[in-house]
Each structure stands twice: as structure tokens, then as C-alpha cells.
Amino acid sequence: MHCALILALTTAVTGTLRAADPTRQQDAAGQQQAPSPGQNSAAACRETAKKLPQLGKDPIREVIDAMTIEEKVHLLVGAGTSATDLEAAIIGQTRKLVPGAAGTTFPIERLGVPAIVFADGPAGIRISATRDSTAQTFYATQFPIGTLLAATWDTVLVRRVGNAMGEEVHEYGADVLLGPGMNLQRNPLNGRNFEYFSEDPLLTGKIAAAIVNGIQQQGVGTSVKHFVANNQETNRLNNNTIVPTRALREMYLRPFEIVVKEAQPWTIMTSYNKLNGTYTAERADLLTTVLRDEWGFKGLVTSDWLGGVNPVWSVQAGNDLLMPGLAKQRDSILKAIRLGTLSLHDVDRNVQRVLELILRSPHYAKYTFSNTPDLKASAAVARESAAEGMVLLKNDGTALPLPAQARKAALFGVTSYDFIPGGTGSGTVNSAYTVSLAQGLAAAGIKPDKKLQLAYESHIAAEKAARPAPKRWWAKQLRPQVSQMEVSDAEIARLARTQDAAVITIGRISGELLDRIVSTDYNLSEAEHRLIERVCNAFHKAGKKTVVVLNVCGPVETASWKARPDAILVAWLPGQEGGHAVADVLTGKVSPSGKLPMSFAMRYEDDPTAPNFPHREDYDTVTLHESMSTNHTLPDTGSKNLDYTIYDEGVFVGYRYFDTSGKEVSYPFGYGLGYTTFGYGGLDIARDGDDYRITCTIRNTGARAGREVVQLYVSAPGKDMPKPAKELRAFARTGLLQPGADETVTLRVPAASLASFDEASSSWRTEGGTYTFRVGASSADIRLSGTADVEAACVETVHPVILPPEKLPEPGRPQAEQ
């Protein structure tokens, strides 16, 4: 979200009038003269003499008509708080319904309208683990991060994760889970990429739809976020993302379109940023024209916590609910109604959507939640999904799985013992425990060297104890990583003699508020390079294997060091059962089958978005964060990538760029090894109604059981406009195939999905000609290919909206002066 962690309170809301703006919805026909406060009071008194309509028992229209203006406005603005402390204003004010949840709606008891509860977050429900009134604990399961779930490429498994999440949300008394996050991973440094799924819109949309369907199957709602193009944390409240129309439609809107059409989330959360000049919470062309009219969204739109600037414009645009709710927002809306500058038609429309959401909620149904979800069952799902989403990047000489006789291991790296289960901010979960790699291997029968373990644990404890207490609320959420401990050459030599293998864990955490940096976060530090080199040299000299485990929030640079270890496993941030899940893979209990949901570049600078992304080294981090803690935002200085970011790479994001340009990568999109091998054959391509049906046979040609992720890429003729060399159009994951077994895989590609967006005609158009259908194990490992002749077609004409400015900003000039 958001949410608990805001870079700044919104600037003062004044209700100032402005000229008509095509990005906001205006309905002159709906304008009504607002009753005076006295009239409202008189009406309320008269209602006491008659039976009042009740939500769910009487038509919604009658309930709305029975509301006072003040009640309607209260319903459009979350219950909020009168607290002046920023942290208190953002998180935990839930009218004592579910302590630690993110917020509630406003109840109107006389009309049978209860408050409902919104809770973070994308890796599991975030609520307070303890309460003053009881000794009972309220721990929740910390599931693997979104990126890991996408790396499974398994919608069935991800739906099961959603089922488990939803059960905890239901039994802990919340109504809407603020997740999943599903912005595109445009740039590898985005601090919240760990919450998101992929650099590809199809994979993102399909995984998001799976988890939304799983959660909502439990009778609670989701709030998919952040709508839209919220791809950096730096100055996120003010940044203007300037996105070409084709890229917006094909890349950034497409995942949300998929989740709306395949899962109908109960709510969608608008993002903090401006989009092509206007805050997303204030764009009627985004929230009404595209989301509702074109896609058929049926639910409610909520702001991110304290998102947007002008609440009146948000109401007009169709941002139905402003969360967590501030008194000044209510005052501004009431003033506009009384001045006649805000239509009661717009107010009533949004009120109806809030009431429709409440009618679906467990709180409306008076569900008696138990506060005792099945945490044991959830932990099993978390462990299984974590193992299935780990990606084996390298495995020379069958270093993995570790042989049965390997019973002792030297574990290097602080995160072998201080394992990172998830990211910070709204992605945090208050879980009962985190299984470290050391604990996971020990439970699997592989004993870590005790002397080395004690040295690391002492180092970790001392460094944490020496840290000063954070002075600001936002600083509490920034978990600084413990520095690498220096291990002497003599100690490494001892371990090479006495241990059966070495495992080096490299850790990276990220989250809200800060984007990552290149020098020692995306790149490995000098200490980490030295550690890998020295350990590999010593263990190889002793004839023993070395494995690197990447306990990371996203991509790191691998090209400069990947030749040294025998095996590399990306474990991501795998949740509370992470140590067990890594051990399951390292020992062969689980054969890895995860595939990268993004590309690993050779260097950060090779990424096509690198010139158009804020680099933290260029800004004063203290100034950025002091601004958010003093209730104001940064002034617009016209700074490129701070005040505005231009997405001039267009649709050529990630593998679309690398494969088209021929730029070498360290590991390609869709890549991942296993403990067995697979053969591909029997390709057949046929038109089947509105779809193309592609079938092939996958055979396990190795000696161990395993699963394969089959990926279908399509290449268009590319004569009518620049096209990527190939684009993912379908994927499937086989069942567990025993050695020699095969499975026929069927992939379906809707003919309409072959269309590209034509900006000139504002339409989706399929170019006529010969298309190549490529089936492979990654975007760079194509095993089968065939062609099909496709007729030119206009698939759909849409509204010419959300257009970028004709004149782009110039660095050094504030946007307002352009």
C-alpha cells in the first residue's frame, strides 16, 4: 500500500475551485442545491418518528436518501483519527475492532451500517500480535513475497496461498486485505518490487488474479494496488510519471485489466503518484472511463493512505473512499457540497459503492470470527510455495542436491543466521517466528559448524545492540542490514578441512520509503566479493562444493562473481518458513522448478530504465524523510526522476528490451534449472474459435522427478509499429513428472491478445501477417517454434484518455512553469 509508511501527509486541502478538467468527472445534470445544516437536523429529527430504512433489508437507495449530508460525507472518508501524530494517523486506528489493522469505514448505526476493517498486506495480514486486554497472541503467517510467488508460475498453487491468507483475514476479523501489490517491476531498484510480481504484464496479471480469487473465496475482499504506474518510492507523493499511451495500455494497465476481468477484486487502490500530470486518485478518465466503462469493474476504489491532494476532485473522479480519513477532508467535501461545486449525484454514487462493499463484508454478516486461524496449515502452505518459487541459477557438477553423506556444513554470511523473511512497510507481517537457514539445515540433518555459528550470532547481536534507537517513525521501518563479519583465512581453511560443504548466504531487504541503491545493494559489497572468493578457493582446493544462497528482495548483480561457486540458488524473501524451504531444495526433498519473473542484467546500467529512475545516491535521504515527518511534501524543483519520471523506454521493459536489442544478460527472463532435464516435442498450432491452441509434449529426460514451466512467446511481423522480438502470451506448469514420463501441455492464446495498441486511432489492432509461436524453457531458451498466418483486425476501439503532455518537462524547471 501505502500505507503505514507515508512519505508525507498531503498538502493542506482547501477545496479551492478550478476550471473544468477532462481528467475529473463533472456532471452538471447531477448538481443539486445542498440542504443547510438546519435542514439536515430537522430531517434527522423527523426520522425518529418513523421507521428508518436498514442496510440490507431495504433498498440501498432508501438508505442513502435517509442519510444526512454529514453522514454521507463521513461514509466517503474513513473513520480516521483526530491524532496529531503521523504514525497514529496512518495505522492502527480501527475503532478497537482489530488492533493494528490499517483503518475502518465510518459506521452509521441508526441505518444498520457497520464499520468494516481494512488490513495490510500483500504477504499476509498485518495486525498487532499482542493486545493489552489478553495474554492471547494474534500472530499471522508471513507468506513468501509476491516476487517468489510469481517465480512459481503456478496459478493453482498461488490460489492455495490466497486461500490460506484469506482464512487468516476472515478469522482475525478483517474485511478487506490491502493487497496484492501488482505494479510492474519496471526497474530493479524500486523499493517495493518485492511486493510485486514481474516485469511482464501477463505473468503479473495471471498471478494476481490467482491470489485474489484465492483470498476472496474465503468471503473477504482484496484491494489490488497501486493503480497505476507507481514504480518508485523516491518522492512518491509528488512524482509525475509520464507514460506514453501505448506503454500505459500494453504494459502498466494490462495487469490490472486481467485481474479485473478474471477475479473482480472487491476494491482497487489508487496510487500516490501523478500520472501524466494528474494524481491517479483524481482522474475520472482512469477510474471511471477505463476501469469501469471499458473493463467492467464492479467494486469500490479506495485511495492509498493519505493519497491524493484534493478530496473533492477525488470524489468527482470516482475515488469512492478516502482512507484512513481526516477531518479536513470531510470539511472540504462538505464545503463543496454546500457551495454547489460538488454534485450530490457524485456523492451518492460513491456512497452507494461503499454500501455495496459493506454488504459483502463479514462485519455486515455479523460473522463471529474466532481469532484462531489454522496457522499450522498456513505454515505448511508457506513452506511449500516458498520451495516451489526458488530459482536454481547454477548447478555445476551436480553440486546440488547435497549428497546424503554431507552431514556437516559451514554457513557463511550474516543472513544464514539472521534470515530475511520479507520486506518492510505494509509488506511486514507480525509472525511468531522466522526459520533461519541454520535452523532449517539442522532440522534436515545437516549440522552447521557450531564455532562459526556462535561467532556470527555474537557479531549480529553486538551490531544490533550498538545501533541508536530510531528517532522518527519512518526510521523504525528501515531495517539496516548487519555488516558482513570478517572470517580469517585460517578459520576458512579449518572449515574446508572439517566440513562437507560451504553455503554462503547473501541478503538484501527493501520496502516502503526507500528505493535501493546500486553500489552496495544491487551490486555486492567488497566484503561479499572477498567472502565468496576466499571460501570458494579454500573449499575447491579441498575438493568440496560451495553454494551461494541469495536471500534477496529482487535482482542483484551476478555476472562478476557467478563463475566462482558451484551452485547458486535464489531463495528470495521466502516468508517465515524460509529456512525449512531452502533446506528442502538443498537436500533434494524438493526439486527446484522456479523460473525468473524478471531478467538479471549483466550490469545495472544495461537496464533500459536506468537513465529514467531516481538513484538514491543523487539525493539527500535525510531531507527526503524529514519532509515526510513534518507534514509537508517536497517543493517541485523540476528535478528529473524526482519530480517527474519519463518512461521513454516505452514497451521495451525487461526482456522485451534485452531480447530485441540483443543485449547480453546474466540470466534471462523465465530462466531456472532443476535437478532433472526435459525434452520438448510434438508442437501443434491450430486456430480454435477465438483462440490459438498450442500443444506440445514435455518429457522428463533426466534421472529425478521434477516439474517444468512451459513458456509460449509470440513474435509479430512488426511492420506497422516497433514490436518486441517476442512477448510472453501463455504459460503452464507440468505436474510432477517421474523420469521417462511425459505430459501433453495445452496453451491457449486469445487471438485478441495478439493486438498492439495504436495510439493514432486509440484502438487495439492486430497486424496481419505471419506470426511465430515459440515454446521454450525461458525467453532465451526456445525449444520449439512454428508459424501461423493471422488476419489484420481492429480488436477494440477505446477512449483516447490519460494522454501524456504534449510538451515534456525540462530538467531544472518546475512542472508548473512548463
Give 758's pLDDT tier (boundaries 50, 70, 90).
very high
pTM over 0.75: yes
> Where in the chain do CATH 3.40.50.1700 domains reside?
387-595
Q: What is the pLDDT of residues 770-794, one digit of tens each?
A: 999 999 999 999 999 999 999 999 9
Best mean pLDDT range from 17-26, 108-117, 801-810: 108-117
Q: Calculate mean pLDDT across residues 396-420.
A: 96
Say yes or no to pLDDT of 670 above 60. yes
B/e letters for 36-70, b = 16+ CB within 10 Å, e = fewer, are eeeebeeeeeebeeeeebebeeeebeebbebbbbe
Q: Calculate mean pLDDT across residues 158-186.
A: 98
387-595: CATH topology: Rossmann fold (3.40.50)
Give 15's pLDDT tier (boundaries 50, 70, 90).
very low
Strand 274-275 and strand 240-242: the pairing is parallel
Cα distance from N-terminal residue to C-terminal residue, the chain: 31
Give 132's pLDDT tier (boundaries 50, 70, 90).
confident
The side-by-side arrangement of strands in the sheet containing 756-758 is 756-758, 763-766, 793-797
- Taking the CA atoms of 636, 640, 645 and 650 in sequence, report the sign of the dihedral they define: positive
Q: Calculate mean pLDDT across residues 50-59.
A: 93
> Where in the chain do CATH 2.60.40.10 domains reside?
676-797
* Cβ(548)–Cβ(532) below 8 Å: yes
Residue 217 falls in which region: left (phi positive, over 0), alpha (psi -120 to 50) or beta: alpha
Strands (E), 662-800: 665-667, 678-688, 691-700, 709-715, 727-733, 742-750, 756-758, 763-766, 769-776, 782-790, 793-797
Neighbours of 569 (CB within 10 A): 26
Q: What is the pLDDT of residues 585-600, one digit of tens each?
A: 999 999 999 999 999 9
Q: What is the pLDDT of residues 224-244, one digit of tens each?
A: 999 999 999 998 999 999 999
Q: Calculate mean pLDDT across residues 755-783.
A: 98
Residue carrying C-alpha cell 447531477: 30
* Cβ(263)–Cβ(213) below 8 Å: yes
Nearest alpha-carbon partner for 536 in 501, 571, 560: 501
Q: Calculate mean pLDDT across residues 719-738.
A: 97
To the nearest whole number, what is the mean pLDDT of the chain? Answer: 90
Give 625's pLDDT tier (boundaries 50, 70, 90).
low
Say yes or no to pLDDT of 45 above 60. no
- Return the percentage of the chain with pLDDT > 90, whole number: 82
Q: So what's the pLDDT on residue 612?
A: 97
CA pair distance 746, 807, nearest whole angstrom: 47
Q: Which residues are catalytic?
A: 304
Strand 134-137 and strand 176-178: the pairing is unpaired
Q: So what's the pLDDT on residue 687?
A: 97
CA pair distance 224, 270, nearest whole angstrom: 9
Q: So what's the pLDDT on residue 621?
A: 56
Q: What is the pLDDT of residues 347-391, one digit of tens each?
A: 999 999 999 999 999 999 999 999 999 999 999 999 999 999 999
Lowest-confidence pick of 31-45, 121-135, 241-255, 269-283: 31-45
CA pair distance 579, 449, nearest whole angstrom: 16
Q: So what's the pLDDT on residue 809?
A: 85
Q: What is the pLDDT of residues 630-657, one digit of tens each?
A: 444 567 778 899 999 999 999 999 999 9
Contacts of 398 (CB under 8 A, 6+ apart): none
CATH class name, domain 676-797: mainly beta
B/e letters for 229-239, b = 16+ CB within 10 Å, e = fewer, are bbbbbbbbbbb
Q: So what's the pLDDT on residue 142?
A: 98
Say yes or no to pLDDT of 127 above 70. yes
Q: 712 — phi, psi (to 5°)? A: -110, 120
CA pair distance 666, 394, nearest whole angstrom: 11
Contacts of 686 (CB under 8 A, 6+ apart): 692, 693
- Return the percentage of the chain with pLDDT > 70, whole number: 88
